[in-house]
Amino acid sequence: MSWYNSNYKFREPVTAFNNTSATTVDIELVIPSDFPRFWDNVASDNDDVVITASDGQTKLDFQVSSWNYANKTGTIKIKGYALPNGQLSVSGKIIAVYMYFGFDDGAGGSPTSVQNTNLAALSNAITSTFVEVGDPLRAGAQVLTAAFEPPGQSAPAQVLYAPGGTDIKTNFFFDVRPMLAARRQLFNGSLLLEEIDTFDFLIHHTDGTDLTSSMVLESEGRIFNPGYIRLGFQTVNTHNADNYLITLKLVTDTGRLLEFYATLKVRKISAPTA
């Protein structure tokens, strides 16, 4: 039985936006104080915290660099994380790691956390965001179900609508759970899916023009409730009445490259006239 299955009760996906061209990066995890699932279950001395790569198993070299359990503040640094797979170009991509905590003392044994207390100072560390909680469907968000297009399909089957205007920002979600393969290993009594390793989000006009740099809000991209990916984009006045192609490229920890598509229809909403 694996170390994480026998004793650990919780784990949390963490997403980080790699804004460098490096294939090995330092990551800084600032744990939010309004994160009761973590603070109510982690050991007061943080000796049960484990950080892994996106496969959920490979332990990373990390250190809890600051910690105040009473005030619920903490910072974890990861030194020299080598980005896996490489099927997506490195710069500007969202990467994922996992944080385990909540060691079950009643199950016997000892926490497997082994921190490196001699890590050098981080060099231009990229910041991270803990996964959002909640169900996007219940929250009334626009959710697209990731699926392969049928043979012969000339346009994406799914359509997303967004209001046009000046700097209007919109978030939506891809539900990628149907496309992730189930594994026969267990985590806390549940069947695991493939893990999300990296992902990228592109927008093109129907005439082929690449508008990713002007429309995509890369800092909004993150895992939302494991199995969902949140993507953000913005429209400007020149995008008020056009159709666009959205592409989500996703690499799993097993090396599979998946691509999903949707049509984005932007329509400017005008005030009614008397």
Rounded-to-integer distance, Cα 62 and Cα 53, Å: 11
Give start and end residues of each alpha helix (H) in the chain: 3-6, 36-39, 212-215
Does 189 have pLDDT greater than 70?
no
* Residue 127 or residue 213, greater confidence: 213
Paired with 257 in beta bridges are: 251
The pLDDT of residue 69 is: 95
The pLDDT of residue 1 is: 40
The pLDDT of residue 239 is: 62
Phi and psi dihedrals of 51, rounded to 5?
Answer: -110, 130
Best CA proximity match to 87, nearest among 206, 197, 219? 197
Domains, the chain, with CATH or none: 3-130 (no CATH), 143-268 (2.60.40.2550)
Contact 88, 190 (CB under 8 A): no
* Residue 247 or residue 223, greater confidence: 247
Mean pLDDT of the chain: 75
The pLDDT of residue 186 is: 47
Q: What is the mean pLDDT of residues 174-184?
A: 75
Q: What is the mean pLDDT of residues 108-136?
A: 60
* Residue 176 or residue 89, greater confidence: 176
pTM for the model stands at 0.61
Rounded-to-integer distance, Cα 67 and Cα 62, Å: 14
Q: Which amino acid is at 52?
A: T
Does 25 have pLDDT greater than 90?
no
Confidence of residue 2 (pLDDT cuts 50, 70, 90): low
The pLDDT of residue 142 is: 74
Q: What is the mean pLDDT of residues 80-103?
A: 71
Does 89 have pLDDT greater than 70?
no
Rounded-to-integer distance, Cα 33 and Cα 105, Å: 24
Confidence of residue 97 (pLDDT cuts 50, 70, 90): confident
